[in-house]
Chain A
Amino acid sequence: MPTSARTRPARRKKNAALHERRVTRLFLLPSLIGVAVFFVAPFGVVVYYSLIDNPISGEFAGLANYASLLRNIAFRQAARNTAVFSGIAVPLAVVLPLLFAVLLMKKLPMKSLFRTVLISPLMVPIASVVLIWEVLFHNNGVVNEWITALGGTAVDWFKSEYSQVTIVLLYLWKNIGYNMILFMAALAEIPQDVLEAAALDGAGTVRTFFRIRLPYLSSTILFVTILSVINSFKVFREVYLLTGDYPYDALYMLQHFMNNTFRTLDYQKLSCAAILMGAVMIVIIGVLFLIDRRLGRDIEE
């Protein structure tokens, strides 16, 4: 830095830091440009589309598009189905992995094998296993044969009010491993001396779990819950691969609505739906951050 030769060392140091900051900003550039071009800038246009009458006249329409979307029967059906799915799948996607993680932290034979098996579905493309799901849950499938053999009445799993069951099972099979890893990582971070002290005090397994492990886990439980809510909004892949573009009514998800709207290129509808979904997500994420911050403060205190 020839120009700063006369300045004091402190000043020079400050200039150097400023220079470093500028240089490292360049590292962000490729990513920032890509995100701006493919996500942020077009999202601005999405907002614009959601507020205009139609792309040709470009007249400002206020919230009329949103109102008509909220009245749209297909959209309401998709939103309701997605909500039902989340309501069933999310609690299971939190409790089951937690249970498995706690068991796998115990001294059990073959526990690394169990872990491997439980996380293996993470690697398997859904498309590779849908055939088995069809064989199991088809109207003439294996599950119905079991049911009738036991004297029950067969259920048309893909085309009845029970259809979400098949999707929930597939979703859990695929996603339990991920949440289990998060819980195992959190369990491993509980200080051993706290657990030992509890054991010395004669606290049983159940009491140790609720009094000591659970409070330490609360922030992870929250994170996994929110993550599962978000992931449950994404459920579509499973339904699509099992039942295609036009599934049974109870399986019509938000992404089905989007796909079918993409086909007609109704930009107003698409934009409104994207923004509404985004807004819901941001509210959920915001709640996560607030609670996370509060919990973090509790542990520090």
Chain B
Amino acid sequence: MKKKLTPRAVGIAGARLAATAFLIGVSLVFLMPVVLTITNSLMSQSEIASNYGKIFTGVTTPGTYVSSSVNLKLIPDTVSFSQYSAVLFRSPDYLMKYWNSVILVVPIVVFQTAVALVASYGFARFDTKFRTAVFFGYIILMLMPYQVTLVPNFLVSDWLGILDTRRAIILPGIFSPFAVFILTKFMRRIPSSVVEAAKLDGANEWQIFTRVCVPMSKSIVASVALLIYIDYWNMVEQPLVLLRGDAQSLHPLSVFLSKINAGDAGLAFAVATIYMVVPLLLFLYSEEYLVEGVSYSGGLKG
């Protein structure tokens, strides 16, 4: 089939071109913050001082050159890993905060997924009135902002004596209903014929769950774990409320990054980059899981 150059075809091609150009522009804007953070982390301290001296006062020592205008540069004049070596070898504080993030987030991801996977089977297997009501309650709890949930969390932590310890964040995190919501939606779509077949083979409920339903849920479990991870890797509210006073030394990097002195702006770019390396690498390998997980969160009905 030969395409004719009708006015309509030209119009469509033009619209397509315009749409592509528009999306290229939008994409550049979207990429910019991450790309600039990474490239700026490769600048030497003197270059940071000259580019941003007018913003991060304190980054300069007397006598250093400060450009009269702020230079937001995409490419460093000279690529330098000095900020990274400073972070890795001379400032153990940042590595400690990174470790704080890991030790808070990993247990939440693992156990929230595990608890939710078991519960989702229970919710999906029978639609009794009781379970529908409880599930509805979970949805409401899931949609509540921190302003609402942190007050009860704080009170319980206080009673249990775990306030200002990591458990004050980890334990409520494990029982957060988000994963239950998504996994139940998935489990409900497993055809009952599959379950019935396993029952005829003499499997009990636990065996149906572990040998039939869990293997079928592998990809959604990966999606859910990923969503929990990015949520908690970015946490700010819980540590601010639940880790006070001396326990502020337990704050994750997601909070601590903003407290880096202006004088260490160069370091801050490197730390910011280090903090987003793992999520970005995960993203390159798991974009489809992310999309699947988000799609499942759409719509409140099963």
Contacts and interface: CB of A to CB of B under 8 A. Distances in A.
Interface of A: 20-21, 23-28, 30-32, 34-35, 37-43, 45-46, 100, 103-104, 106-111, 113-114, 116-136, 138, 140-142, 145, 173, 178, 181-182, 185-186, 205, 219-220, 223, 230, 233-234, 236-237, 240-242, 244, 254-255, 258-259, 262, 270-271, 273-275, 277-278, 281-282, 285, 288-289, 292, 296
Contacts of B265: 131
A31 B175 contact: yes
Given A24-B126, A132-B37, A240-B258, A123 B276 contact: yes
Interface string B217-258: 000000000000010011011001100000000000111011
A32 B134 contact: yes
B155 to A, nearest CB: 4
Contacts of A23: 204-205
Nearest to A230: B143
A30, A126, A186, most chain B CB atoms within 10 A: A30
B258 A125 contact: no
A28 B122 contact: yes
B23 A103 contact: yes
Given A114-B23, A140-B70, A134 B55 contact: yes
B22 interface: yes
A27 to B, nearest CB: 3
A108 B272 contact: no
A129 B273 CA distance: 9
Nearest to A188: B295
Contacts of B234: 125-127, 237
A35 B139 CA distance: 12
A238 B69 CA distance: 26
Contact of B19 (A103, A254, A296): A103
Nearest to B153: A38
13 contacts: A27-B121, A27-B122, A119-B291, A123-B280, A127-B272, A133-B33, A140-B70, A142-B72, A178-B294, A258-B147, A271-B151, A274-B150, A292-B301
Of A108, A120, A136, A141, chain B has the most CB atoms within 10 Å of the CB of: A120
A34 B300 CA distance: 22
A114 B155 contact: no
Contact of A131 (B32, B236, B241, B268): B268
A219 B301 CA distance: 11
Contact of B241 (A130, A262, A285, A289): A262
Taking each of A32, A131, A255, which has the highest tally of chain B beta carbons within 10 Å of its own beta carbon?
Answer: A131
Contacts of B300: 223, 288-289, 292
Given A182-B298, A255-B147, A38 B172 contact: yes
Contacts of B138: 35
B302 interface: no
Contacts of A240: 236, 240, 258
Given A121-B34, A223-B299, 15 more contacts: A27-B118, A39-B172, A46-B155, A107-B16, A108-B20, A110-B20, A118-B30, A120-B34, A122-B294, A123-B279, A131-B272, A240-B240, A242-B258, A255-B237, A285-B143
B128 interface: yes
Contacts of B37: 128-129, 131-132
B133 interface: no
A123 to B, nearest CB: 4
A41 B155 CA distance: 10
Given A106-B19, A119-B287, A132-B36, A237 B144 contact: no
A6 to B, nearest CB: 23
Contacts, number: 278
Smallest CB-CB A-B distances: 6 pairs: A34-B175, A27-B122, A42-B152, A31-B119, A127-B257, A28-B122
Contacts of B276: 123-125, 128
A150 to B, nearest CB: 14
Contacts of A100: 23, 26
A113 B28 CA distance: 12
Contacts of A34: 115, 171, 174-175
Given A28-B122, A123-B282, A288-B300, A142 B20 contact: no
A203 to B, nearest CB: 14
Interface SS of chain B: helix
B211 to A, nearest CB: 15
Interface string B275-293: 1100110110001001100
B209 to A, nearest CB: 7
A129 B26 CA distance: 17
A289 B276 CA distance: 37
B29 to A, nearest CB: 8
A292 B98 CA distance: 43
Contacts of A117: 27, 30-31
Contacts of B131: 28
A223 B139 CA distance: 13
A38 B171 contact: yes
A184 B247 CA distance: 43
Contact of B287 (A104, A109, A116): A116
A109 B33 contact: no
Given A42-B152, A107-B16, A125-B279, A223 B55 contact: no
B156 interface: yes
A286 B171 CA distance: 29
B254 A254 contact: no
A215 to B, nearest CB: 16
A259 B240 CA distance: 8
